[in-house]
Structure formats: structure tokens, C-alpha cells
Structure 1
Amino acid sequence: MSTAAKFYFGFFILVFLTGCGATPGLTTTKKTLPNAPTYTYIDTKGNTYSISQNKFIYDPVSEDDTIDGIDDEGYHQEINISLNDYAKIAAACDRQFQETQKELPANYNGNVIPTLLRRYPDRTDELTLSIEGVDELDYILIPYLGDE
């Protein structure tokens, strides 16, 4: 086969693969962190935030147009997140486990005791959060919910 024929054959294969949606030389292996924990954060109103390596799930205690006397807390959301986003959230959660949490004040009037769970395959760590801990986690997590 001549050099020109090899070139045209290679070019044809490249065009064919690209036309089929394949990208030669590019792999799409999804990276994960081995033994990375999942986190569940329950805020002072009872809203639940579940974080895994690729998903952020928000379950509000109450949705729009409620008549149960509980504030509107938005809608259930499941958001795909990057490994980088997971690492940022995990670092904020792990920081709470490292810091000494102050007891909730006697005049605390939240509906629920704020809690953070960190689940590994073989154990679960649980932490009652201080108001400062709640503020720090809210600061990191609320922007993922958009306009909710």
C-alpha cells in the first residue's frame, strides 16, 4: 500500500469513528475515590442533604404551598456533581468532625437537632452540630440548590 493510500485510509477511519460519536484517543473512565464516605446532613429545619461521590440529593422537610405550618423549603433535587465538588463538600464535612462543636444554646428554637452523618462501608460517625457548624455547611451546600 502506498503512503498516500495509507494516509487516505487512516483519514477515512478517523472520519468514520468521529461520525459515529467516538473520539479516538480519548477515554471516558470515571474516576472515583476508593472507600470514600457518604455524608448526610440534617439542618435545623429538618431538610436532608445526602452527598456521595457523584450525587447531591436535597430532600426538603416541606415543599411549596404547604398548609402544615412549616416554612416552604423548596423542592426535592438530585444534582450530579463532579468528583471535585464532592471533595470540596467532604472537606467541609470532615472539618466539622475535627472541630469541637459547641452545645446548642438554651434558647435554640430549631425544629430539629442539626446532625451530620459520615458513612463508611464498615462504620457510621454521627455528630450533633453547633450553630456555627450549621452555618459553615449551609454556606457550602446552599449554592448547589440554585434559586430554591
Structure 2
Amino acid sequence: MSTPIRYYFSLFILVIFTGCGATPGFTTSKKTLPNAPTYTYIDTKGNTYAISQNKFIYDPVSEDDTIDGLDDEGYHQEINISLNDYAKIAAACDRQFEETQKELPANYNGNVIPTLLRSYPDRTDELTLSIKGVDELDYILIPYIGNE
């Protein structure tokens, strides 16, 4: 291929990519969802999980077997997550708000009433979870904190 043809071919390819919205070599902006809520889940032991569009924060009730009598629940973790991970977690949380939550049984002996918060800039929705809701959220969230 001669030099002028190569030049015009390269220019043609560049026009095709930029014409369809692609910008070769540029990834400067982080993708976000407008008006996406943040979620805070407090499990039956009091561990807190805070989820935003790009961050997953796990704050355990106790990091050590200490005199407080609480089990070791691992260590505080802040994990960067993808927008796809956020969307998966958000869908699981939103599903809890759509389902009817059964009252906790009379013999429930958890340390804390399990709660899910969904926070928007102008309001916060709060939900007391059933044991089924706790199980469903634990299934989605526990893998993010690993074996801690």
C-alpha cells in the first residue's frame, strides 16, 4: 500500500470510529447512572454494607474476638466495583422493596433487626427485612468480602 493510500485509509477508519461515537484511545470519564441511589444494608449481626455506584464498603460489627462477646466478622473493606456489579446489587436490593417482607419470627435471636436503606438525594426509604430477604442479600453481597 502506498503512503497516500495508507494515510487516507487510516483517516477513513478514524472517521468511521468517531462517527459512531467511539473515541479511540480515550477513556477519561467514569460512567455513572444519573439519580442512582446508594444502599445501606445492616445484617442480623450488625455488619454494615454500603453500596454506591463505584464503591462497596463493608464495616463489620467486630474485627476481633474481644471481650465484647461478638464473633469476629472480618475486617473493614472498601472495594471498587464496576457499574455492572452495582447494577446487580441494586437490582437485588430493589427487589426487596418490591416484595412483601414477613415479620421476623418470635424466636428471632439476632443481635440487630436487619434493615435495608435506599437513599436518594431527596429521600431515604427504609425496610425491615425478613429472614428470606437477609438470605437473598447475603447471597449477593458476601462474595464481595471474600473469606474475611
Structure 2: distance between partners of 1:27 and 1:107: 57
Paired residues in the alignment total: 131
The 8 Å contact of residues 65 and 71 in structure 2, kept in 1 or not, is answered as: no
Structure 1 counterpart of 2:45: 45
User: What amino acid sits opposite 2:90 in the alignment?
Assistant: A
- Structure 1, gaps ≥5 residues long: 11-23
Structure 2: distance between partners of 1:112 and 1:100: 20
Structure 1 counterpart of 2:92: 92
Q: Normalising to structure 2: TM-score of the pair?
A: 0.83
Structure 2: distance between partners of 1:71 and 1:109: 15
- Structure 2, gaps ≥5 residues long: 11-22
Structure 2: distance between partners of 1:63 and 1:138: 19
Structure 1: distance between partners of 2:91 and 2:109: 28
Structure 1: distance between partners of 2:91 and 2:26: 28
CA RMSD of aligned residues (A): 1.8
Q: Secondary structure at the match of 1:88?
A: helix
Q: Secondary structure at the match of 1:44?
A: coil
Structure 1 counterpart of 2:60: 60
Matched, 1:26 2:55: no
User: What amino acid sits opposite 1:146 in the alignment?
Assistant: G
User: What amino acid sits opposite 2:119 in the alignment?
Assistant: R
Structure 2: distance between partners of 1:52 and 1:112: 23
Structure 2: distance between partners of 1:65 and 1:113: 22
